[in-house]
Chains A and B, each alone.
Chain A
Amino acid sequence: MSTIPADLKYAKTHEWVQASAPDAAKVGISDHAQEQLGDVVYVELPEVGRQVRAGEACAVVESVKAASDIYSPVSGEIVAVNATLGDAPEQINQDAYGAWLFSVKCTDTAELDALLDAAVYQGLIEGAA
């Protein structure tokens, strides 16, 4: 069974978002997403400084099964990436909510508020199951 921490926000495309400051969003993929992907073997991260829009594909997670685009849930600038995933992409399987991919400095905090809360996200994945 996948877990869904209540203190995070979620995108319909299965990214989680942690609002670490009012305009800063740390992004990873949900436990449900990693379960669907299977063993992760490679992660392609965006360049720091890149401007992204909400819904834009900006990272790729490759599992033994397939390559999956990861979408930025919010608009803004990529201010940090989790470089430890380069050598140890399996962290995403082991600890989906600890293994963040990138951080975005948001230009529109309303986008953060519009993301799904844990209960709604749970409903979404149960509906899909």
Chain B
Amino acid sequence: MPNQTALNAVHRQSGGKLVEFAGWELPLHYGSQIGEHMAVRKAAGMFDVSHMGVIDLSGPRSHAFVRHLLANDINRAGEAGAALYSCMLNPAGGILDDVIAYRGDVGRCRLVVNAATRERDLDWITRQAEPFGVDVCCRADLSMIAVQGPRARDLAHQALPWLSAGAPGLPVMHFITIGDAQAARTGYTGEDGYELIVPSSEAVVTWEALRDAGVAPCGLGARDSLRLEAGLRLYGSDMDESVTPYDCGLAWTVALEPADRDFIGRAALLTRRAQGGSRFVGLILEEPGVLRGHLRVQLPGGGEGVTTSGGHSPTLQRSIGFARLPAGNEDRCRVEIRGHWKHCRIVPPRFVKYGQPLVAL
């Protein structure tokens, strides 16, 4: 039996088509994935992301521990109240997961990790935390709702009085804690909005208040097409333990300075960086069809690569994808779809931001 989130009954009542994902029963869509996608681009949509893991770290050395655990440096994000995107690496530089770290008050930090890797992460983090004397607590008592879109913050302030008290001036990649709840100005769609973490006992009233304010319930399908357009990587598809951040276009998330910050994977990353890493790109299919992950890519010079994600872009009305290629500067390639080699344009791996296309068609 898959796990159920606190919102399971609400999803059923709303006509959600429930599927199993990473051991959890979650809505794929509530009728039309494309409709939900466009609701987020044009107005506001919300996602039940309670399957993701919330891991709280506490103890006097928790800050030092996070600087050891993650390839990005929490000090870059800022003081308490700042959030940071980072990869968590093994000693070989392979990506164990990608996480958001929330810097709390002295002695506190929170990590949000992927559902599929949550148990493995918890085990890894617990073992690494031991020498630091840091307490690791997986918060199964919390639920997570992402509210995203150009109207998301306004509607969330209207719907949730607790939020309107402190959140309106919150900068991007920052969060506030109000009682047991947290609101972060983060997301996975390329739009403005919040990711809310609330006690599971409050999940249904929070969801219903947002829905009554006009926020559209959205499923995992729209979450995937939105993140693809926004150029955001998906763990397990675009990256895993076999690759480093230098193979996923994530060099910007690696903080090599200060040089004396001894984070897990550092030595291996320096080696990989010296080798040059892989080229991680966006693809736009220039013929009819749909890109998916795991397709062969051929470059004009004979080099080969592979797609890591792909799908239909509702905003661009084209098929788009990500690919991992050998280093180079080609701007065209061909992708094999069911035995046919189809032409693609190579672009930076970021297609839509704040509702606007970032690539010329």
Binding site for B on A (CB under 8 A): 38-39, 41-42, 44, 60, 62, 64-67, 86, 93
Distance to closest chain A CB from B181 (angstroms): 33
Cross-chain contact A64 with B289 (CB below 8 angstroms): no
Q: B244 on the interface (CB 8 Å rule)?
A: no
Which one of A60, A64, A86, A93 contacts B312 once the chains associate, using CB atoms below 8 Å?
A: A64
In the assembly, what is the distance between CA of A39 and CA of B32, in Å?
Answer: 6
The interface centre, meaning the residue of A42, A44, A64, A86 with most chain B CB atoms within 10 A of its CB, is A64
Let me know if B29 and A38 touch, CB within 8 A: yes
- A64-B225, A64-B312 are contacts. A42–B290 as well, Cβ < 8 Å? yes
Q: A42 touching B289 by the CB < 8 A rule?
A: yes
B317 nearest in chain A by CB position: A41
Contact A38 B33 (CB under 8 A): yes
Q: Chain B, interface size: which category?
A: 10 to 19
Distance A65 CA – B34 CA, assembled complex (angstroms): 11
Q: Could you tell me if A65 and B221 are in contact, using CB atoms closer than 8 angstroms? A: yes
A23 CA to B251 CA in the complex, in Å? 62
Whether the Cβ atoms of A64 and B221 lie closer than 8 Å is yes
Residues of A within 8 A of B311 (CB): 64
Q: B301 interface residue, CB < 8 Å from A? A: no
Q: Does B288 lie within 8 Å of A41, measured CB to CB?
A: no
Q: How far is the CB of B20 from chain A (nearest CB, A)?
A: 14
The answer to whether A86 and B288 touch across the interface, beta carbons within 8 angstroms, is: yes
Q: Please state if B338 and A41 are interface contacts (CB–CB under 8 Å).
A: no
**Which residues of B line the A interface, CB within 8 A?**
28-29, 32-34, 221, 225, 288-290, 292, 311-312, 319, 338
Q: Tell me, in angstroms, the Cα distance from A74 to B28 when the chains sit together.
A: 34
CB pair A39–B34 under 8 Å, yes or no, is yes
What are 8 contact pairs spanning A and B, CB under 8 A? A38-B33, A39-B34, A41-B290, A41-B319, A42-B319, A64-B34, A64-B221, A65-B221
State whether A64 and B288 are in contact (beta carbons under 8 Å apart), knowing that A38-B28, A38-B221, A42-B312 are contacts in the complex: no
Check B312–A41 contact: CB distance below 8 A: yes
Alpha-carbon separation in the docked complex, A27 to B133 (Å): 67
Contacts of A42 in B (CB 8 A): 288-290, 312, 319
Q: Chain A nearest CB: distance from B40 CB in Å?
A: 14
Q: Please give, as numbers and ranges, the residues of chain B lying within 8 Å of A65 by CB-CB distance.
A: 28, 33, 221
Q: Quick one: closest B residue to A93, CB to CB?
A: B32
The chain A residue sitting closest to B340, CB to CB, is A44
Q: What 6 additional pairs, Cβ within 8 angstroms, besides A42-B288, A62-B312?
A: A39-B34, A41-B34, A64-B34, A64-B221, A64-B225, A86-B288
- CB neighbours (8 Å) of B319 from chain A are 41-42
- Known contacts A38-B28, A39-B33, A42-B312; decide if A62 and B290 are in contact (CB<8 Å): yes
Q: Are A60 and B338 in contact (CB under 8 A)?
A: yes
A4 to chain B, nearest CB (A): 19
CB distance from B286 to the nearest CB of A (A): 14
Q: How far is the CB of B24 from chain A (nearest CB, A)?
A: 18
Give CA–CA (A39, B35) in the complex, Å. Answer: 9
In the complex, chain A residues whose CB is within 8 Å of the CB of B312:
39, 41-42, 62, 64
Chain B, Cβ-Cβ closest to A60: B338
B338 touches A64 (CB 8 A): no
Q: Tell me the complex Cα distance, A104–B32, Å.
A: 31
Write out the residue numbers on chain A whose beta carbons fall within 8 Å of the beta carbon of B221: 38, 64-65
In the complex, A64→B319 CA distance in Å?
10
Q: Specify which chain A residues have a CB less than 8 angstroms from the CB of B28 in the assembled complex.
A: 38, 65
Chain B hits for A39, CB < 8 A: 32-34, 312
Given the contacts A38-B221, A64-B312, A44 and B289 also touching, CB distance less than 8 Å? yes
